[in-house]
């Protein structure tokens, strides 16, 4: 997430460091992520940097005759006093390349390449970024809940840290048609 403010920016929190180069997603298909497709409202979560709550929308659709997923997000961070702190728009393309599930995320503040490290078809996906310019790694996770919500987390592992820590979380609920 990674989208809204970072929810691409992506729910299984990994202990330790995962190297993007070691990403293994054998036999994965774009259809394994079909649980993400739809128009979503961001109904909850937390943005650690601002101590704020994310709100907004996320649209996820297939593109290229099913060859990929396009994620578009429009978000606002609501501060503790109920006022907008910041806004964001981002987009991500999820695609297969050489059998590896990749994602490219762009916004006005960053662009990031990710590789999937785990996919549970129809249920969850974990992406880990290439190292950021400061050496940090990002981990974006998406997990379908029993009630139909998707929980997305963006975690960060700064250089010298042994584990990922929460940067942002979002709860997504399918918008009523």
In terms of DSSP bridges, do strands 6-8 and 2-3 run parallel, antiparallel, or are they unpaired?
antiparallel
- Looking at residue 24, its pLDDT comes to 57
Number of domains in the chain: 1
Q: What percent of the chain has pLDDT over 90?
A: 77
Q: Can you tell me the distance from the alpha carbon of 42 to that of 55, in angstroms, rounded to the nearest whole number? A: 5
Q: What's the pTM? A: 0.84
Q: In sequence order, what are the residues at sequence separation of 6 or more whose Cβ sits closer than 8 angstroms to the Cβ of residue 18?
A: 117, 128, 137, 139
The predicted-structure confidence for 6-47, as pLDDT tens digits, reads as follows: 444 332 223 233 444 445 566 899 999 999 999 999 999 999
Q: Can you tell me the distance from the alpha carbon of 138 to that of 160, in angstroms, rounded to the nearest whole number? A: 14
- Looking at residue 110, its pLDDT comes to 87
Domain, as residue range, for 27: 2-174
- Looking at residue 176, its pLDDT comes to 74
Which two structure tokens, joined as six digits, stand for 48?
A: 């650690």
The predicted-structure confidence for 38-92, as pLDDT tens digits, reads as follows: 999 999 999 998 889 999 999 999 999 999 999 999 999 999 899 999 999 999 9
- pLDDT score of 5 more than 90: no
Nearest CA among 56, 34, 32, 29 for reference residue 45: 56
The predicted-structure confidence for 101-133, as pLDDT tens digits, reads as follows: 999 999 998 899 999 999 999 999 999 999 998
Say which CATH number the domain at 82 has.
Answer: 2.40.128.20
Q: In sequence order, what are the residues at sequence separation of 6 or more whose Cβ sits closer than 8 angstroms to the Cβ of residue 109?
A: 88
Handedness of CA 122, 1, 16, 26 (dihedral sign): positive
């Amino acid at each position: 997430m990674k989208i809204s403010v970072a929810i691409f920016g992506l729910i299984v929190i990994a202990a330790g460091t995962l190297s993007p180069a070691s990403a293994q997603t054998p036999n994965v298909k774009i259809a394994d992520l079909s649980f993400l497709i739809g128009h979503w409202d961001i109904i909850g979560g937390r943005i650690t940097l601002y101590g704020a709550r994310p709100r907004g929308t996320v649209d996820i659709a297939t593109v290229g005759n099913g060859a990929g997923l396009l994620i578009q997000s429009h978000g606002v961070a609501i501060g503790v006093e109920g006022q907008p702190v910041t806004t964001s728009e981002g987009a991500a393309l999820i695609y297969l390349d050489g059998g590896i599930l990749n994602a490219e995320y762009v916004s006005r503040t960053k662009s990031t390449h990710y590789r999937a490290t785990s996919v549970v078809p129809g249920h969850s996906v974990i992406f880990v970024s290439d190292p950021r310019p400061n050496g940090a790694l990002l981990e974006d996770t998406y997990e379908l809940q029993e009630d139909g919500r998707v929980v997305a987390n963006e975690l960060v592992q700064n250089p010298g840290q042994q584990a990922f820590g929460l940067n942002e979380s979002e709860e997504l609920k399918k918008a009523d048609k």
